[in-house]
Structure 1
């Protein structure tokens, strides 16, 4: 029996999604059958559906609520009202704005250099080089563009992109584009209940300036399995060790790394709220996630 009265015959878990994906992403559905085999009935639930009784679940697991980015404050408020949420609401509040990168950098984590441009700030493009412009609150690489600032047209487009985000009241991030993305790609390392599960390689997604309205919930991704290097695992463990409140509270974490100019891994994003976990890219990953969820339900 769980602390909330559920037994292995009636334990219920909500897999939290959005109205655009009421039946979940196909990858997320892979965990439903393994959970059933462990005595847990899992079902999709839309985060902003007022008819959902969140207290009726033994655990709510954030999976694909990807429409929250235009109303983050409402999403964080909703998270605080869910009795049993993974990951916890304070983690959601901390992780859904990418200013967490500043805190991690201050703690000694190697992080991609970032300039922050607030609404009302002046901004001039650097003289040259490739840069990425994106909002500090985003998911699925929406509202994100890549600019070659040696190109006058790209300089104008980058400035317009920054101004467009500022006009919408959004904090803007400007980061150098790391060339290793185009050769070795990005590495995402998945952890369940603090233990490394598997890793993937993500190919380059940004091929030019942002086109407003051209991206849906997320950009298409080219994903393959990858064995992480010892250096990548070391950085990922260092990232998790710096999380406020401790990493032991996390059901899942995804640490996204790219090789920096000195070929050592740097953190691009730490995904603790609604990351794709690419369960289909590693044998046994869905079962490992189901074990992690069941451990929390029945502990």
Structure 2
């Protein structure tokens, strides 16, 4: 079985998951090949499946990436599926999950054409207890163009919002939940709808530190055992996906990033279904577990 592991030219040397995944797939009898989505010489129809792994520059060229995904979807089996990619590359999906009863980090969207001053003032009035808040683009990854602000920095925050919406980009405003400074984030990995493992990510947005200039901000990662309440929320999110995304089966992979609110309850920060790191290096069996689940899925659909 020929499987394309899809990265980006800019991310070839950055994705720590690629080597263990390629090895695990090879050990399981598949023929994996690491290829960049933005390499025009690739013949994608040669593969039984194209597995999105690290096309991490798509946020800067989303129309081009989605057009590529649509073309590849007609040539081979694209994972995760095209419809999921279209929905998950824009953080407006958080509003859909909140309407479905999922506890998310409180989120307000500012759209192109809105007034930045009015929008930010209304947001701060809505969350008077938020000593700090986050401005980030609705289409973004790796903390690019995301920044943490104190209430006293409203002028700088307004300029940030205005810059994004003037460029035609929707903006997401969220209270900064400062429990992340001590507890970090918990990222739970699910393969084929089943929990696999979890990691802790340290806080990414530092006070008075501007957005990263790199493809993604450096992360401090350690293995973590999630709390029972985190597992319950993550399981609820996985259970909600078929109805929300019109799926008839679990997704091959999903990553659920949680942080705790002031009352200690877990909240969804991001649901990563397009190109998440799966952190194979932090669980010795994770790459093999994922490879066997993936090949079982593909084999049943190819037979």
Task: Tell me which protein shows more helix as a share of its residues.
Answer: 2
- Residue 6 of structure 1 corresponds to none
Unaligned runs of 5+ in 1: 1-10
- Residue 22 of structure 1 corresponds to 12
- Residue 65 of structure 2 corresponds to 75
- Residue 189 of structure 1 corresponds to 188
- Residue 8 of structure 1 corresponds to none
- 1:216-251 alpha-carbon deviations (Å, 9 max, x no partner): 110000011000111111111111122212373411
Q: 2:82 aligns with which of 75, 79, 89?
A: 89
Distance 1:23 1:108, change over 3 A: same
Q: Residue 242 of structure 1: SS of its match in structure 2? A: helix
Q: Please, what TM-score do these two structures have when normalized by structure 1?
A: 0.91
- Residue 260 of structure 2 corresponds to 259
- Residue 150 of structure 2 corresponds to 148
Q: What is the rounded CA distance, in whole Å, between the counterparts of 1:258 and 1:118 in structure 2?
A: 25
1:168 aligns with 2:167: yes
The 5 Å alignment of 1:208-247 reads 208-209=207-208, 211=210, 214-243=212-241, 244-246=245-247
Q: What is the rounded CA distance, in whole Å, between the counterparts of 2:293 and 2:66 in structure 1?
A: 24
Out of 61-70 and 72-81, give the one that drifted further.
72-81
Q: Residue 30 of structure 1: SS of its match in structure 2? A: helix
Query: Structure 1 residue 209: deviation in Å?
Result: 4.8
Q: What is the rounded CA distance, in whole Å, between the counterparts of 1:139 and 1:65 in structure 2?
A: 11
RMSD: 1.6
CA contact (8 A) 2:18 2:34 kept: no
Query: Structure 1 residue 23: deviation in Å?
Result: 5.3
Q: Residue 298 of structure 1: SS of its match in structure 2? A: helix
- In the alignment of these two chains, the number of paired residues is 285
Out of 246-255 and 88-97, give the one that drifted further.
246-255
Out of 193-202 and 244-253, give the one that drifted further.
244-253
- Residue 124 of structure 1 corresponds to 120
Q: Residue 223 of structure 2: SS of its match in structure 1? A: strand
- 1:93-143 alpha-carbon deviations (Å, 9 max, x no partner): 000000000110000000111111111212334266200000000011100
Query: Structure 1 residue 211: deviation in Å?
Result: 3.2
Query: Structure 1 residue 74: deviation in Å?
Result: 2.0
Q: What is the rounded CA distance, in whole Å, between the counterparts of 1:60 and 1:84 in structure 2?
A: 6
CA contact (8 A) 1:130 1:176 kept: yes
- 1:176-195 alpha-carbon deviations (Å, 9 max, x no partner): 00111011111000001111
- Residue 133 of structure 1 corresponds to 135
- Residue 102 of structure 1 corresponds to 95
Q: What is the rounded CA distance, in whole Å, between the counterparts of 1:248 and 1:197 in structure 2?
A: 17
Q: Residue 271 of structure 2: SS of its match in structure 1? A: strand
Q: What is the rounded CA distance, in whole Å, between the counterparts of 2:270 and 2:36 in structure 1?
A: 25
